[in-house]
Amino acid sequence: MNGVRGEDLIYELYATTNHAAIWGSGADGAPVSETFVAGQPTTIYVFARVEAGQRPSSGRFTDDVVIQVLSL
């Protein structure tokens, strides 16, 4: 995540609230599988945890997470 002063926060994404497995590409984290119905909206929940020990300035930090849906 990038802040207003150009500072970064390191974080990881998870597919579950208990942060049991890092959500990644399959090579560096757990693959995530969802079932979609054509033409129907689907909600995908993604959870994040910021690594401890970071000391950024106060302010708003934002990031964009892009989810690519692949059809098999």
Whether 11 contacts 50, CB under 8 Å: yes
pLDDT at 29: 64
At 8, the amino acid letter reads: D
Q: Is 64 left (phi over 0), alpha (psi -120 to 50) or beta?
A: beta
Per-residue pLDDT tens, the chain, 72 aa: give them.
Answer: 666 666 888 888 888 888 887 886 555 666 677 777 888 888 888 888 888 999 888 888 888 887 777 766
If one counts the domains in the chain, the total is 1
Range of the structural domain that residue 62 is part of: 1-72
Q: What is the pLDDT of residue 35?
A: 77
For residue 47 the two structure tokens come to 């959870």
The per-residue pLDDT for 42 is: 80
pLDDT of residue 25: 59
